Structure 1
Amino acid sequence: MRLALSACAPFSLQAIIASHGWARLSPFFIEHQTTALGRVERLSTGRVVELIIREAGDGVTVETPDRLEGFEREEVARKVWWMLRLGEDLSPFYEAVREEPRLAHLEREGIGRILRSPTVFEDVVKVLLTTNTTWDRTVRMVEALVTQYGDPLPTDPSRHAFPTPDQLAAVREEDLRAIGVGYRAPYLIDLARRVADGEVDLEQLKDDNLPADRVRRLLQDLQGVGEYATALLMVLVGRYDAIPVDTVARERVSQEWYGGRPVGDEEIDRAFARWGEWKGLVYWWWPWSRDTGCKKQEAECR
């Protein structure tokens, strides 16, 4: 099966793949020989398929060796549309940064979109697994979670889809700890159970019309989701006025504008305030002159 999906211009699949570390987290993978983005995906029917996404024409093509029914093709299209933000019009962002010499190249190179998972649930789980740890350990934790609890790909049972809320809700805390997620185990189980039971609807956060305060409150009500995780998740769902402030952000801003002096949230917000609703995206793509933070938190690096 092969689908062709168009995107709002300008568009660059390679820029999306390089936007942050998500492309290296299972069940995503990168075909290094072809620079395609791949993913093992579980459809709502329960089928597990491999998707290969390549840039083509004014968008992308999505290929799978499986024959899909019409409604399954529509589901794949919706998921890829969301993951790659194909319908997102970033022209107001490009207009806002056009006079900033260090960002003027973004529009020309089609840079601006950030890769995300097909569900907000998956992104919340992955963000929880990036907190208070190294990037290498995040990769291992995600891989273990997917391998242990996700449905296998029929043509290659060593590869798996991301586990569903129902699948994770059935896991015991001690079993999650055994695969190395540590203190996050009860947070993941609580999240999965609340989503599986219908108590929390994370997918409603895909609605641009949902008030930002409501998005923030819903995220902060989740166990283990603090200020940094909330801001990162808001950026992932397209709320670009949030800046994920952590030690990396503080070090970057300190070195860039404050001569290495310690800075807090107020100084970081002031540094990007002039970009208003786009300040989180400006922070994301700012070409840091001394990006020592990348050595500490590769999940943020490009």
Structure 2
Amino acid sequence: MELKLALGECSSSFDMEKAVCNHGFFMMSPNIWIPSTRSLRRPLRLADSRRSVSVTISHPPDYPFLVIQVQDSLSSADEAAILEQVGRMLRISSKDERYVREFQTMHSSAKEKGFGRIFRSPSFFEDAVKSLLLCNCGWKRTLDMARALCELQPEIALDNENGHLKRKRSKRKPSSSNSSESIQNFPSWKEMVSWPWVNAAYLEKRCNLGYRAASILQLATMFAQGKLEEDEITKTEQSFDPTISESLYQKLLEIKGFGPFICSNIMMCVGFYQRIPSDTETIRHLKQVYGKENCSKNTIAKDIVEIYEKYNPFQCLVYWMELIEEYESKSGKLSELDSFNYHLVTGSLFRDKEVNRIVSNA
């Protein structure tokens, strides 16, 4: 089955490759970027949010729409759900197009490079969890944790489908043959809170998540309790008002393990670019690119304001564009990398052992 998502006003600025391959999220499961066809494959949720279907998204040259190949036939509600998720991932909206044009007007080299859309996930929950997975670890482990959560998802879905039946749970991971029988998607918050085996200790051990397991479950619980609401987050994503985004930022900070770096990365995914996710990589970047030799965790906030404030409200877009340019000058185009080598990218770019999350921010 083939669906079409009209680009509309986004037609003139949209480039599939550049819209996808500009953030480490595109390398993380369950996303699969196919360099030979410049297409993206992954599972997406159907309208009931329980079932998933594998899709392949491409943009034929000069077509005013995206082509979405779906393995199964869909209801009209399912089609609408798929189109909405694709539009979110690739930022096909009036707000995103307005921001692209404003940013490229402000920063002329951005237009030359076709930069302005930062890739994100089909759901806020996936963005938030993946932002958490970026923190305090090497890039290989980040990739491994995302993959492990996707491998666990069919088991969570099956347990929920069985109505919390008290059946013996296998301690081993599903075999590859079992995994192929169901689509491995990223877990949703609804699956997490409904899971009969929901337990931070088990989740931590099964997916090697460390402290992140408890944080993920707390995030899911906030949705279940109504402290975070999907409709309100959607309205925030569509808004131009920075005070609305600030409210969401403060709520996220209440989650144990969600510090300023993680929450700033999430806000970037939401579509507010005033906050730059700052970590050791940011310090390295300012030292090497801007000559801020004395930059440290104590001065980074001041240094960022000094360098990027003039680009308000697109500070983060400028920073990200600089990172992408820097990475690709050393490793080649990210869109052409073999997926088997994704875990090597950090080490191949910079040898500083203290900087171990470089592509986590790309």
TM-score normalised by length of structure 1? 0.89
Per-residue CA deviation, residues 124-181 of structure 1 (Å, 9 max, x unaligned), is: 11111111001110111111111112448x9932641111213222321121121200
**Does residue 5 in structure 1 map to residue 10 in structure 2?**
no
- For 1:273-292, what aligned pairs fall within 5 Å after superposition? 273-286=309-322, 287-288=325-326, 292=350
Which of 248, 252, 258 aligns to 2:291? It is 258
- Residue range with higher mean Cα deviation, 214-223 or 68-77: 214-223
Which of 110, 125, 132 aligns to 1:128? It is 132
Q: C-alpha displacement at 1:206, in angstroms?
A: 3.0
CA separation in 1, counterparts of 2:73 and 2:179? 13
Question: 1:47 maps to what in 2?
Answer: 51
CA separation in 2, counterparts of 1:13 and 1:140? 26
Instruction: Give the secondary structure class of the aligned counterpart of 1:277.
Output: coil
Question: 1:101 maps to what in 2?
Answer: none
Comparing both structures, which one devotes a greater share of its residues to helix? Answer: 2
**8 Å CA contact 1:53, 1:61 repeated in 2:** yes
Structure 2 regions of 5+ residues with no counterpart? 159-177, 331-348
Instruction: Give the secondary structure class of the aligned counterpart of 2:313.
Output: helix
Instruction: Give the secondary structure class of the aligned counterpart of 1:132.
Output: coil
Question: 1:168 maps to what in 2?
Answer: 192
Q: C-alpha displacement at 1:194, in angstroms?
A: 2.0
Give the residue type in structure 2 aligned to 1:183.
Y
Q: C-alpha displacement at 1:293, in angstroms?
A: 8.4
Identity of aligned residues (%): 26
**8 Å CA contact 1:191, 1:223 repeated in 2:** no
CA separation in 1, counterparts of 2:275 and 2:183? 35
**8 Å CA contact 2:215, 2:256 repeated in 1:** yes
**8 Å CA contact 1:255, 1:261 repeated in 2:** no
**8 Å CA contact 2:189, 2:223 repeated in 1:** yes
Give the residue type in structure 2 aligned to 1:188.
I
CA separation in 2, counterparts of 1:203 and 1:293? 43
**8 Å CA contact 1:220, 1:230 repeated in 2:** yes
- For 1:221-240, what aligned pairs fall within 5 Å after superposition? 221-240=254-273
Which of these two proteins has the greater Rg computed from alpha carbons? 2
**8 Å CA contact 2:134, 2:360 repeated in 1:** no
Question: 2:210 maps to what in 1?
Answer: 182
Give the residue type in structure 2 aligned to 1:25.
M
**8 Å CA contact 2:3, 2:70 repeated in 1:** no
Which of 131, 138, 144 aligns to 2:142? It is 138
Distance 1:259 1:163, change over 3 A: closer
- Residue range with higher mean Cα deviation, 127-136 or 199-208: 199-208
- For 1:189-268, what aligned pairs fall within 5 Å after superposition? 189-202=217-230, 204-207=232-235, 208-209=238-239, 211-263=244-296, 264-268=300-304
Q: C-alpha displacement at 1:273, in angstroms?
A: 1.1
Per-residue CA deviation, residues 82-135 of structure 1 (Å, 9 max, x unaligned), is: 11001221111001002xxxxx1x324432211111111111111111110011
Which of 296, 308, 332 aligns to 1:272? It is 308
CA separation in 2, counterparts of 1:301 and 1:214? 23
CA RMSD of aligned residues (A): 2.4
Structure 1 regions of 5+ residues with no counterpart? 99-103
Q: C-alpha displacement at 1:35, in angstroms?
A: 2.4
CA separation in 1, counterparts of 2:13 and 2:39? 18
Comparing both structures, which one devotes a greater share of its residues to strand? Answer: 1
CA separation in 2, counterparts of 1:222 and 1:260? 34
Instruction: Give the secondary structure class of the aligned counterpart of 2:295.
Output: coil
The aligned length equals 295
**Does residue 70 in structure 1 map to residue 76 in structure 2?**
yes
CA separation in 1, counterparts of 2:204 and 2:278? 27
TM-score normalised by length of structure 2? 0.75
- For 1:33-44, what aligned pairs fall within 5 Å after superposition? 33-44=36-47
